[in-house]
Copies of this chain bind each other. A is one copy, B any other.
Amino acid sequence: MAAIFYNAHHSPIGAFASLTLGCKGATGGLGLELAQPANQPVYMGLQSKDGQYIDMLPFYGSVGQADPAARFQVEQAPGEGIKEESKGSSALKLRPFADTDISRNMAASIDEWHAGDLVVRVISPVMPVPDPAEAELESLKVAIVPAILVEFEVDNRGCALERKAVFGYVGTDPYSAMRRLDDTMPGYAGVGQGTHTAVVAEQGSAVSALGFSIDDILAIHLPENCQFGLGATGLLTVTAAADCISRFRFAVCFYRDGCATAGLASSYLYTRYFTCIEQVAQFALQHYEKLRQLALDADSRFASPHLTPDQRWMVAHAIRSYYGCSQLLTTNDDPLWVVNEGEYRMMNTFDLTVDQLFYEMMSNPWTVKNVLDQFVDRYSYEDEVTEPGASHRYPGGISFTHDMGVGNVFSRPEYSSYEKFGLRGCFSHMTHEQLVNWILCAAVYVHGTNDESWCASKLTTLAACLQSMVNRDHYLEEKRDGVMSLESTRTSGGAEITTYDSLDESLGQARANVYLAVKCWAAYIALQRIFTDHGLEDLAELAHRQAVLCATTVTASAGEDGQIPALLEGNHPSRIIPAIEGLVFPLHTGCEDAVRPSGEYADLVNALGRHFRSVLVPNVCLFDDGGWKLSSTARNSWLSKIYLCQHVARKVLGIDGPAVTANADRAHVGWLTDEKNGYWAWSDQMVAGVAMASRYYPRGVTSCLWLNEE
């Protein structure tokens, strides 16, 4: 882990907020509901021992306008008048720490920087969110308080001088000004922007100031002038006593009040418990010790000894990006759990939900139920189906939308923001895949929680889902092979796609796709299990029949070399790793037997094992650097899916080795920390190692499946 200057999220849970930090320059900052880092200078530094400089972590840089004070002072020499007060004073000068003086250690909750005599710990505790319907108030507030903590530790032993340390930022909100929170929080010192973001400390030695620049603030010699109200730079200064170790605590806070979403009006759940950002800051600082301990607990929880350092780092990084996208809303007294889709900000994109599922089941399964209910209640629809290129309509059935909206705008009922009509590529419908995703999520939720009352209430929906799947296989029973053959009428003569929407047919086309086929098989056996458990023998039998058909079709498609083509029709040359992806589900739906090498589906499992061994070789599904290439015919690879398939290889197929783990992980860490990619924190789509899309993305928490490999 040589590269340390990459951005990472430091986020409260469910606030769609992030202190993004780590890249050099003004590339991070306090972002609220953004599609990318806030691009704010963040100032963190410590006065040098000689007293003349502030040695800085490198998270700042120029910000557009050279001298924001200039527009007040036309026709005057630069700084004339304004700086008069500081004439003769020797202002502290900024100086970056040398790279070699800086080290970083990032876990899921605590990101620790060492630089000279300064330690900065950015603390964003990872913890389960209790179900608001049942939660004890205090623990709910602790989980969702929209703040994170920052701790400065100054080792001033052996130095006879007091030394100042600074923490601040330049605000970029277009609507509101920066301010000092001292004015509204007696006993505290803080700087913030409007009602939305703030950095707050208990007063102690902390002094807040605003100015046009950090240089202007450092040049202040009349203390009253810290209370200047203009300028976009806010800075807190603390003073470390001589000859000892001092610690300073800050809360980095976020707040969005009122109606947060259009389309369907909702507000952040935290607004019920905190009426303004001042209350957030106060709560976070009052609960500092507790939150810090929760962070330590989480970091040991995720630092499982069976994981390699590379694995631990990817797990931590992915969890951070996930929470940066998380949003806990409420409407009509009901909670709404939303995960925003990184740089795209689509809300609860279903083909992400199904992957993030495993992490949510470990953390807070009620959010899975919450999202599944939203999909049934508002984002399900009925269609018909057609044969490819034909117009005659056959019965289709229920399915679910790709997403629930975008950028705080809920889309209308029964429609996503993403899906268009008449296409066969990106932006086409994902009808079949989202249908399968709902079944799989529901089955994993039911198996993981034993929530029988929910399951019972959804049996009708599950039966409709089964019928809808069968109808998409074929309208003639004798032609069914367990695999999707018909297209939704929502494509208007186009073709359905999959979550791999920007890939060629190898993964982009839904019909006859082996990736989707194996997920269908997993859905059929999960349905069989649920229907059997509820004495619905006819449905169970239908599901079983389809599962067998599907398994047979996939198995029979293997060539002599053991490779299974990406498309189970035609003669497409692609070979894909995600053929094995669907094998993860039986482990989580109570169908472990189905993936045993000696079980009912041994042929399928063994065929997929042979396929996988055969494609995970150079020039097929490996990049030159050892990174995984999901499709043999594309340079576009998805890290979240790689993580999932690595888990399947080891856990289900029993295949491991350098190509599966060590070499691959080293390459993938290299991708994420490459200076071309580090700005975007955790990114999913990598084109030959370059993050080109799906950046700043939540889906990497598939890596948490690795925790199950102990």
> Which A residues fall within an 8 A CB radius of B?
32-35, 71-76, 80-82, 84-85, 174-179, 183-184, 192, 194-195, 222, 224-225, 227-230, 257-259, 261-263, 265, 276, 343-346, 405-409, 411-412, 415-418, 420-428, 492, 494, 501-503, 634-636, 685, 687, 692-693
Contact = CB atoms under 8 A, between A and B. Distances in A.
B32 A81 contact: no
B263 A276 contact: no
B422 A222 contact: yes
Contact of A425 (B82, B420, B424, B636): B82
A175 B408 contact: yes
A84 B492 CA distance: 12
A418 B344 CA distance: 40
B176 A74 contact: no
Contact of A265 (B75, B176, B183, B276): B276
Contact residues of A: prevailing secondary structure: loop
Nearest to A255: B259
Nearest to A181: B262
7 contacts: A33-B174, A72-B427, A74-B687, A76-B426, A85-B421, A183-B412, A222-B422
A616 B388 CA distance: 84
B635 A177 contact: no
A84 B494 contact: yes
Contact of A502 (B73, B262, B422, B494): B73
A177 to B, nearest CB: 3
Given A75-B636, A85-B423, A265-B276, A409 B257 contact: no
Given A262-B184, A408-B177, A635-B75, A423 B230 contact: no
A409 B81 contact: no
Contacts of A32: 175
B229 A408 contact: no
Contacts of A177: 345, 405-409, 417
B259 A409 contact: no
Given A35-B174, A74-B502, 15 more contacts: A33-B175, A71-B344, A73-B426, A74-B693, A75-B502, A75-B635, A76-B425, A81-B423, A81-B426, A82-B423, A174-B174, A176-B407, A179-B262, A195-B259, A227-B415
A39 to B, nearest CB: 10
Of A74, A258, A634, A693, chain B has the most CB atoms within 10 Å of the CB of A74
A225 B408 contact: no
Nearest to A85: B422
Contacts of A418: 229-230
Nearest to A636: B75
A502 B70 CA distance: 10
A476 B510 CA distance: 93
